Amino acid sequence: MSEGRRRAGADLLSRLGANDAAFMESVSRRVRFRVGDVLFEEAADAETFYVIDQGKVGLELTSPGRPPIVIQTLGDGDLVGISWLFPPQRWNWRAKALTDTTATSFDAAAVRLACDRDSALARQVLEVIAREAVGRLQSTRLQLLDLYGESR
Amino acid sequence: MTHSAQSTTPPLPAEAMLPSPYRVVASRHETADTVTIDLEPVGDRGAAFAPGQFAMVYVFGVGEVPISVSGGGGAGESLSHTVRAVGAVTRAICGLEAGDEVGIRGPYGTPWPLAEAHDKDVVVAAGGIGLAPLRPVVRRLLTDRSRYGTVSLIYGARSPRDLLFGSELQEWRSRFDAEIEVTVDRSDEGWFGDVGVVTGLLPRIAFDPANTLAMVCGPEIMMKVIARELKATGVRPEDVFISLERNMKCAVGFCGHCQYGPDFACRQGPVVPYRRVMERMRVVEL
């Protein structure tokens, strides 16, 4: 089956060597969210990031006087949260489960500390995060083009 | 059908420049600016249209535009066109009511390679109004489901209000033998589906890149990005088919309005293998 574009979360876990994978396993746990549960709030400290095993999570922008706006949905194998790696380590969006969702959560502080000590692990993690960030940037550019509008 | 057969210019219909009268038997709004009309020939038997082919639709006294078939077109079926109101003629088409008459020329152009897709996984990717020319493809794939491997549709629109064929999409999604993924660029309060560009749906669907045929229709930028992403997964460019949109006037290869490099979109297209045009799609302003 198609393997050309792996989801970032799945990619993060699959590319690590045995020792690094064991470390990631040691700072992770399986979590379950019901529909409507909030994984993290906008502007909160980025202490935990997630890889979705099964389900759907929406990244939301909250705005006064109106319901939250979903700006992107994430699904199986996706990485939820990239701000944990960069100062000031605060979430830019709210993440909310749009369906019942199972995920693997990771202790962001522990992973950051491990990356500080292990440049090989840091490179692997950075590469996955950078690729995900570039993918989201490219998608956002396409969305900004308003491809389906009248003047195409 | 082979790749070379697909790129062979189809024969022109008899009386290629003469419109036949068709009567509107139904008209329905799909979105605020998009309407589907069902047509039946007046008197004579209508011509047979294959999915992917187009007709020149003539609104008497207003003008003529090329519109792909969005349903029917087979023997004994009404002919459906889904039209977005963007100019004088398309606005007139969207204002037609049951009983009104139009002139139809066609069928013109190359069809989607449905026979070539037999025994393969099939990826259908549509953006915006691009779902209209692919609707007969999806219908055919689901009707003849056993002829194909996995069947997937990924569809993107600007917003939930711009999604076409809502009830039919629901019907397709209720099937267990096809993957139907829909996303919008911008959500609203009542939308509980996916948000993001249509390319983001590709990793969600299952297909064997070595044995996949893809049919893609939408804005050219979207088709280019989808084709590139499919190529990155291992699907060969000759197994990706796109539908060219160009300014067609005569539809028979005389006027040159729809010339695209060495091809006329009306004759060698509109459906072409991506391999045939991938270099041209990188040429500025071609």
- Cβ neighbours of A96 in B, within 8 Å: none
Whether A9 and chain B come into contact, CB under 8 Å, resolves to no
DSSP letter for A45, please: B
Q: What pLDDT was estimated at residue A150?
A: 56
> How far is B81 from A150, CA to CA, in rounded Å?
18
| Closest residue in B to A66 (Cα–Cα) | B189
CB A2 to CB B202 under 8 A?
yes
Tell me if B68 sits within 8 A of B57, measured CB to CB: no
CB B204 to CB A75 under 8 A?
yes
Q: Identify whether B160 is preceded by a cis peptide bond (ω within 30 of 0).
A: no
- Coil/strand/helix, residue B36: strand
- Sequence-ordered strand ranges (E) for chain B: 20-31, 34-41, 54-59, 63-72, 79-84, 101-108, 121-127, 151-157, 179-184, 194-195, 212-217, 240-243, 259-260, 263-264, 271-273
Q: What pLDDT was estimated at residue A65?
A: 83
CB A4 to CB B225 under 8 A?
no
Q: Give how far A116 is from chain B: nearest CA, Å.
A: 32
B96, B101, B102, B103 alpha-carbon torsion, rounded to 10°: 170
* Beta bridge mates, A70: A60
Of A5, A72, A147, nearest to B128 by CB-CB distance is A147
Domain covering B11-108 in this structure, CATH number: 2.40.30.10
- Coil/strand/helix, residue B180: strand
Instruction: Give per-residue pLDDT as tens, A67-102.
Output: 888 999 999 999 999 999 999 999 999 999 999 999
| Closest residue in B to A36 (Cα–Cα) | B192
Nearest CA to B156 among A96, A143, A7? A143
- Element housing B5 (H / E): helix B3-6
User: In Å, how far are A9, A64, B7, B61, B214 from B241, measured between CA atoms?
Assistant: 31, 46, 11, 36, 6
Tell me if A119 sits within 8 A of A56, measured CB to CB: no
Same fold, B11-108 and B121-251+268-276: no
CB A4 to CB B185 under 8 A?
no
- Coil/strand/helix, residue A65: coil
pTM: 0.89
Whether A15 and chain B come into contact, CB under 8 Å, resolves to no
> How far is B29 from B218, CA to CA, in rounded Å?
20
Of A4, A56, A148, nearest to B127 by CB-CB distance is A148
Q: What pLDDT was estimated at residue A1?
A: 55
Of A3, A75, A147, nearest to B127 by CB-CB distance is A147
User: In Å, how far are A58, A71, B56, B174, B210 from B191, measured between CA atoms?
Assistant: 11, 12, 36, 18, 35
> How far is A3 from B206, CA to CA, in rounded Å?
10
Q: Which residues contact A114 (CB under 8 A, 6 or more apart)?
A: A23, A27, A121
Nearest CA to A38 among A68, A8, A79, A4? A68
Of B86, B183, B185, nearest to A150 by CB-CB distance is B86
CB A75 to CB B183 under 8 A?
no
Secondary structure of B184-251 in HEC code, one letter for each residue:
ECCCCCCCCCEECCHHHHHHHCCCCHHHEEEEEECCHHHHHHHHHHHHHHCCCHHHEEEECCCCCCCC
| Closest residue in B to A71 (Cα–Cα) | B195
CB B196 to CB A98 under 8 A?
no
Please give chain B's pLDDT, 286 residues, in tens: 444 444 567 787 777 888 999 999 999 999 999 999 999 999 877 889 999 999 999 999 999 999 999 998 887 789 999 999 999 999 999 999 999 999 999 999 999 999 999 999 999 999 999 999 999 999 999 999 999 999 999 999 999 999 999 999 999 999 999 999 999 999 888 888 999 999 989 988 999 999 999 999 999 999 999 999 999 999 999 999 999 988 888 998 888 898 998 899 988 989 999 999 988 888 877 7
Q: Could you give all domains of chain A from N- to C-terminal order, each with its CATH number? A: 8-139 (2.60.120.10)
> How far is B108 from B18, CA to CA, in rounded Å?
13
What are the residue boundaries of the structural domains of chain B, listed by start? 11-108, 121-251+268-276
- Cβ neighbours of B199 in A, within 8 Å: 139, 142
Whether B94 and chain A come into contact, CB under 8 Å, resolves to no
Tell me if B13 sits within 8 A of B246, measured CB to CB: no
Nearest CA to B125 among B45, B182, B59, B43? B182
Q: Quickly name the fold that domain B121-251+268-276 has.
A: Rossmann fold (3.40.50)
- Cβ neighbours of A139 in B, within 8 Å: 196-197, 199-200
| Closest residue in A to B156 (Cα–Cα) | A148
Tell me if B71 sits within 8 A of B121, measured CB to CB: no
> How far is B232 from B250, CA to CA, in rounded Å?
37
Whether A3 and chain B come into contact, CB under 8 Å, resolves to yes
| Closest residue in B to A61 (Cα–Cα) | B187
Q: What pLDDT was estimated at residue B204?
A: 87
CB A139 to CB B200 under 8 A?
yes
Structure-token pair, residue B127: 């953006």
The residues of chain A scoring below 70 in pLDDT are 1-6, 150-152
